Amino acid sequence: MIDELVENVINRQRRHIARSISLIEGGDDQAPELLQKLHKHTGKAWRIGITGPPGAGKSTLIAELTKKLREAGHRVAIVAVDPTSPFTSGAVLGDRIRMPDIEQDDDVFIRSMATRGSSGGLSARTADAVDVFDAAGFDYILIESVGVGQVELQIERVADSTLVVLVPESGDQVQAIKAGLMEIADLYILNKSDRPGSNSMLQSLYAAVSFKGKHNEDWDVDILQTVASEGQGISELILAIEKHRHFLERSGKLQSRRKSQLEERIRNKVYDSIQASLWTPQRLAYLEQALESAQRGDESPDSCASSIVQDYQNKK
Amino acid sequence: MIDELVENVINRQRRHIARSISLIEGGDDQAPELLQKLHKHTGKAWRIGITGPPGAGKSTLIAELTKKLREAGHRVAIVAVDPTSPFTSGAVLGDRIRMPDIEQDDDVFIRSMATRGSSGGLSARTADAVDVFDAAGFDYILIESVGVGQVELQIERVADSTLVVLVPESGDQVQAIKAGLMEIADLYILNKSDRPGSNSMLQSLYAAVSFKGKHNEDWDVDILQTVASEGQGISELILAIEKHRHFLERSGKLQSRRKSQLEERIRNKVYDSIQASLWTPQRLAYLEQALESAQRGDESPDSCASSIVQDYQNKK
């Protein structure tokens, strides 16, 4: 049955692609076998992570990017991991109106991921979902995520090119950059760049980028200006993405980047699997007892922990 | 030898307190025994977490708070987990000048924690260090941490009262609140509240707090104004902290809060211990091989992970 599903995914059947991702999201027992069999068909898609604060216009940018990529004949999958995204079901109606031209295109697949659970779990499920699209022959996979917040996807662990989208309006964005987006950006996009404050925001960005120096694998982080709602700057953005792609491919850094992403995925899967076998109802009951004893001062966190670990290592 | 160290810590010997924390920071083999023996002497100190963006004046506020607490006869320990703090060795000289009055006081102990390693590891080491100060009879333990950034301490997992310090200057702070500080604040402090923009910042804070409603264990989050550099508002702050303390104590929420902190600590220690026995040189070598095989498409992340887990569970 999994073999048939794999066959249909590779033959680009939408219904089976959707079903595969549901299996992954639901943590189905058959998901590992499915992923194992799809894995050899992956590695061809270019995975673009798009992040930035709410209101930066990420979804509009993704819609325009998708249209341009389609004009060039590419197949595009969109994975929305942002609960505020109009691509996800929770979006307000007004926002969804913009998307019909790409939503009715058979070579575009839009999927939102449920953002429940830990950020590690979310990254794992997203990476697995991206593998399904990759195996299904999509040329570009666009992953939309919020940059900061409660349900944060570590998008740089899933993407080949990470785009950070900002707007001129406020210095808030600079704070957001400081808070970690800086480290992950391969390209900055100053969207809504026809608005006031654009120049000073650009200056802040150039300053931030030059301060950063050569940290980012010798890649000179690009800064682009777009007005996504009018389609401005999208072709230049695609060129910049291609430039980054060629840089990674020629320098051999694509392979090392994907290798470290793969390592992270394997380590997380090992961790999840051990957690599942560790926290049996018996050990959870012991933990509860131990907590009370630790609160009375009879045991320390270290001694409780080592009892649990010893029990696990003896009984497995 | 550990018994002697424990004895001396309880007898408030500075040299032995410092040595104990060094053992913890260095991950010494004897640290668990030390912590086990200190544990029954803990639970009396009030642990105050102080967080907020760089430049909010956290260190000045801590110095003033310390002076006032000393005037009331309390012993105060300061644990700086903020790499930008003047309490840490990396600080610029100019900033350190402010601290001599508290630095030369025998009932004040200032210690900075190395912020290398994971944020989980940092939280664990900080919680252990706080236990040492607690056992050494310090009445108040002030833990200073940056709110957002690369080396983030999850301060709400270590503190009884969490203070979020902001300044009027910029809307940046509101962004920071959205980015997660909101969820953890028991008290907001608008420092430098004599500066322009103070009123509109206060309004944003009141709006944010009322929007939040009753999430925070039925505690009505307080907002205080200070000018720490002139000692203004510090007495009111101490009263507000006491009010929060009494709330937690009377409502029984102190015990449940400390219990869930303890659970987190135990779970992290279990995780660390399993990680240490899992990633032997042999398994790391296997992981390296598996990665290459996965990159060729021969194996999937799931199959690599399950081989490692099976090997771990068979051989332990």
Q: Where is the domain boundary, A253, A269, A301?
A: A253
Q: Quick check: B303 contacting A, CB < 8 Å?
A: yes
For the residues A161-170, what does the mean pLDDT come to?
85
Closest CA to A186 of A220, A142, A151: A220
Whether A24 and A128 have beta carbons less than 8 Å apart is answered as yes
Do residue A58 and residue A27 come from a single domain? no
Same domain, B31 and B54: no
Q: Name which of A36, A174, A259 is nearest B302 (Cβ-Cβ).
A: A36
User: For B171, what's the count of Cα atoms within 13 Å in the CB-facing half-sphere?
Assistant: 6
Asked if A149 is an interface residue toward chain B (Cβ–Cβ < 8 A), one would say yes
Per-residue pLDDT tens over the stretch A21-36 = 999 988 899 999 999 9
Cβ distance B165 to B61 under 8 Å? Answer: yes
**b vs e for B94-116, b when ≥16 Cβ sit within 10 Å of the residue's Cβ?**
eeeeebeebeeeebbbbbbbebe
**Are the beta carbons of B224 and B191 closer than 8 angstroms?**
no
Same domain, A89 and A231: yes
User: Is residue B178 in some structural domain?
Assistant: yes
Q: Do A91 and A131 fall within a single domain?
A: yes
* Average pLDDT for A39-48: 95
Q: Is A53 on the interface with B (CB under 8 A)?
A: yes
Q: Which residues of A touch B53 (CB under 8 A)?
A: 175
Whether residues B26 and B59 share a domain: the answer is: no
Q: Within this chain, do residues B84 and B175 fall inside the same structural domain, yes or no? A: yes
The phi, psi pair for B169, rounded to 5°, reads -45, -45
pLDDT at B83 over 70: no
pLDDT higher than threshold 60 for residue B98:
no
Are B36 and B178 in the same domain? no
Same domain, A62 and A198: yes
Q: Does A14 touch chain B (CB under 8 A)?
A: no
Each residue of A60-86: pLDDT tens digit?
A: 999 999 999 999 999 999 998 866 556
Distance of CA B46 to the CA centre of its chain: 13
**Percentage of chain B exceeding pLDDT 90:** 56
A105, A112 contact by CB (below 8 A): no
**Number of structural domains, chain A?**
3
Residues A158, A297: one domain? no
Q: Strand A187-190 and strand A222-225: pairing? A: parallel
Does residue A307 form part of some domain? yes
Summarize pLDDT for B156-204 with one digit per residue, the tens: 889 999 998 988 875 555 555 555 666 788 999 999 999 988 888 888 8
Does this model's pTM top 0.80? no
Strands B46-52 and B140-146 turn out to be parallel
Non-local (6+) Cβ contacts of B88 within 8 A are B80, B82, B112
A142 touches chain B (CB under 8 A): no
Which amino acid is it at A141? Answer: I
Whether residues B10 and B156 share a domain: the answer is: no
In percent, the amount of chain B with pLDDT more than 70 equals 83
The secondary structure of A39-85, three-state, reads HCCCCCCEEEEEEECCCCCHHHHHHHHHHHHHHCCCCEEEEECCCCC
Phi-psi region of A302 (alpha: psi -120 to 50; beta: other; left: phi over 0): alpha
Measured CA to CA, the distance from residue A278 to residue A312 in angstroms comes to 6
- Do residue A116 and residue A26 come from a single domain? no
CA proximity to A116, closest of A88, A77, A93, A76: A88
- Count of other CB atoms within 10 angstroms of residue A55: 13
Is residue A260 domain-resident? no
Q: Which of A127, A262, A312 lies nearest to residue B295, judging by beta carbons?
A: A262
Report chain A's mean pLDDT, rounded to a whole number: 85
- In this structure, the answer to whether residues B246 and B218 fall within a common structural domain is yes
Q: Is residue A157 part of a domain?
A: yes
What is the C-alpha to C-alpha distance for residues B256 and B258, in angstroms, rounded to an integer?
5
User: CA-to-CA distance for A132 and A6, rounded, in angstroms?
Assistant: 9
Q: Domain ends where: B198, B233, B251?
A: B251
Shortest CA distance to B208 belongs to which of B243, B234, B175, B230?
B175
Supply the range of the domain harboring residue A22. 1-40
Last residue of a domain, one of B210, B236, B251: B251
CB contact under 8 A, A35 and B301: yes
CATH of the domain at A96: 3.40.50.300
- The ipTM estimated for the assembled molecules is 0.80
Give the per-residue pLDDT at A91: 41
Query: What letters, b where the CB count within 10 A reaches 16 and e where it falls short, cover B213-231?
Result: eeebeebebbbbbbbbeee
What gap in Å lies between CA B2 and CA A312, rounded to an integer? 28
Interface test with A, best of B150, B201, B266, B313 (most A CBs within 10 A): B266
Asked if the C-beta of A174 comes within 8 angstroms of chain B's C-beta atoms, the answer is yes
